[in-house]
Amino acid sequence: MITVRHATADDGPSVIALFALLGHSPSMDDPRAQVERFLESGECVVVAERDGEVVGATSAHVIPLLHRAGPIGRYTAVVVREDCRGNGVGRVMLEFTDRELRGRGCVHTEVTSNISRTRAHEFYQRLGYERTSYRFAKELEGGE
């Protein structure tokens, strides 16, 4: 059985390890403090557990926009452990997080995904997401 809940700082090591599966390399010096700072800033982090073990995580950010009637929720990461994919974990995490974002006033959600993650794109489309734009990115000089 899958349980979905808001993450806590104690989930830090599991969340950071899951994000590493996406190719992100956040500092592992103090993952508990890293997640705690993120949560204290008002960000949304949700985890999925199976048999008491964290097997999935999402992070989302509420963004106010001048050109929308209300803020949007942007998923900044969605990840499920590979051996748990295809079992509904991602779907229930996104449904839970969508409810949270609606509760924060969001009128729209969007998810960004690396162009090479075609299986993830198919998953998002099955959930009703449509490709609506391109995203362009660049590193800022002096940034981390």
pLDDT digits (tens, 9 = 90+) for 30-61: 888 888 988 999 899 999 999 999 999 999 99
Structure tokens at 5: 């809940």
pTM for this predicted structure: 0.87
pLDDT of residue 28: 65
- At 34, phi and psi to the nearest 5? -60, -50
- Whether the predicted pLDDT of 81 surpasses 90: yes
Rounded CA gap, 80 and 37, in Å?
23
Per-residue pLDDT reduced to its tens digit, 83-133: 999 999 999 999 999 999 999 999 999 998 888 888 999 999 999 999 988
Nearest CA among 122, 38, 26 for reference residue 111 = 122
Task: Locate 143 and state its tokens.
Answer: 């940034």
The angle formed by the CA atoms of residues 62, 118 and 53, to the nearest 5 degrees, is 65
